[in-house]
Chain A
């Protein structure tokens, strides 16, 4: 029996080849639980199918290898992007007041003196109302949605809480992370701190301290402190490995 002749399973109404079609996702670990169970059941019954999974895994490994040898884009593009964003933001800022002034000038020029007096009364009332609302906003305690972000993912490994320098560019931050083989895993908090994974394993306190001390001397870093691994905060997710590995080294770049 060849692997393409997987027998029909009457209980699950599988067409020949249906399980085969799921094998790439099975090998990649991205199948839904129900489909994964169907594949595992078929694998138990059909040793040829297990050999086919080995072929899929071989393809998977070589596809990853091929992609990772493609390198990375020039670091310059990060700065180009941020420059484009800044230019766009500045242009929008410049446009907005000019447009508003032009509209208001035309609007008031067309009003009769009596209408203008009534409009002015409404304007005074509106300003008073806005002032009241602003005071209200600042005197009420604010919710802090950012704080919840740190309670989530990435609790295995060794971490630091890092605040980046205001002037740090995206390219500099990327280089910094690359040099330390580190990954941003969460943040920013309200205070602008980012959780950075320094190692996949738990380092000794002294070793972690040394790395963090070295980070403090980097120009892109405003402050850095060792952070505790947050194991046990959400035990349901603790078995899942960190999902965002540091980007691999780009050969030739």
Chain B
């Protein structure tokens, strides 16, 4: 993670000078992870694709403003999060309930019966998918995007202690969902 930073920053410098190829390399390197982060927030594949297009267009426009105070990947996720949440706000204002518009990770007709057929890993993943947006966001940032306490605080815009507390309660909630799904993990 730390070793990647200089190369990413060099790319941003080149993008700021209008280098298209540097833009393509940065995109190739990060777009899948950014897409997955946005998709987990929006649960809408087409909207997630639109958002990452906007994210990288913003990078093209604002590369000269990047000051290197955070890792490039952290900056990208922060931009993506802002855009995804703006879209969700707009949907709410337009009267569209984003949670009901979900196209993935939906349980089948009889959730209890379906859960019983799954192995432990699958059940755990179902429970992870069933967390609130706030909780799955912090879990993804820590476990999948490998962000430190400081970086998560930067991305979400909350104090570091709140990050730790939110992660703790996200895990606690996950434990409760697991127990309901028939997995006794012994915690909480």
Contact = CB atoms under 8 A, between A and B. Distances in A.
Given A64-B143, A240-B2, A242-B3, A74 B49 contact: yes
Nearest to A178: B28
Contacts of A31: 148-149
A78 B27 contact: yes
A85 B60 contact: yes
Nearest to B188: A4
A58 B123 CA distance: 12
A189 to B, nearest CB: 11
B143 A73 contact: no
Given A59-B139, A184-B28, A188-B22, A67 B146 contact: no
Given A59-B171, A67-B36, A184-B25, A85 B20 contact: yes
Contacts of B48: 73
Given A62-B121, A149-B7, A17 B1 contact: no
A140 B148 CA distance: 44
Contact of B18 (A64, A89, A149): A89
Contacts of B149: 25, 30-31
A152 to B, nearest CB: 5
Contact of A51 (B10, B28, B186): B186
Contacts of B104: 70
B168 A21 contact: yes
B69 interface: no
- Majority secondary structure of chain B interface residues (helix, strand, loop or mixed): helix
B148 A82 contact: no
A81 interface: yes
Given A55-B186, A243-B2, A177 B28 contact: yes
B186 A82 contact: no
B79 interface: no
Contacts of A66: 125, 128-129
Contacts of B49: 73-74, 77
B142 interface: yes
A218 interface: no
B25 A70 contact: no
Contacts of A192: 21
A21 B7 CA distance: 32
A170 B168 contact: no
* Interface-central residue, A2, A153, A240, by most chain B CB under 10 Å: A153
B167 interface: yes
A233 interface: no
B140 interface: yes
Interface string B43-62: 00100110011001100110
* Interface-central residue, A2, A32, A85, A164, by most chain B CB under 10 Å: A85
Interface in B146-188: 146-149, 164-165, 167-168, 171, 174, 185-188
B83 interface: no
Contact of A63 (B22, B139, B165): B139
A32 B148 CA distance: 8
Interface in B66-124: 104, 121, 124
A81 B6 contact: no
A9 B1 CA distance: 32
B121 A240 contact: no
B21 A146 contact: no
B29 interface: yes
Contacts of B28: 78, 170, 173-174, 177, 184
Contacts of A149: 6-7, 10
Nearest to B151: A30
B7 A65 contact: no
A119 B164 CA distance: 65
A35 B117 CA distance: 40
15 contacts: A21-B165, A25-B148, A28-B143, A29-B146, A70-B104, A73-B31, A82-B23, A84-B57, A85-B23, A154-B3, A170-B24, A173-B25, A184-B29, A194-B25, A240-B3
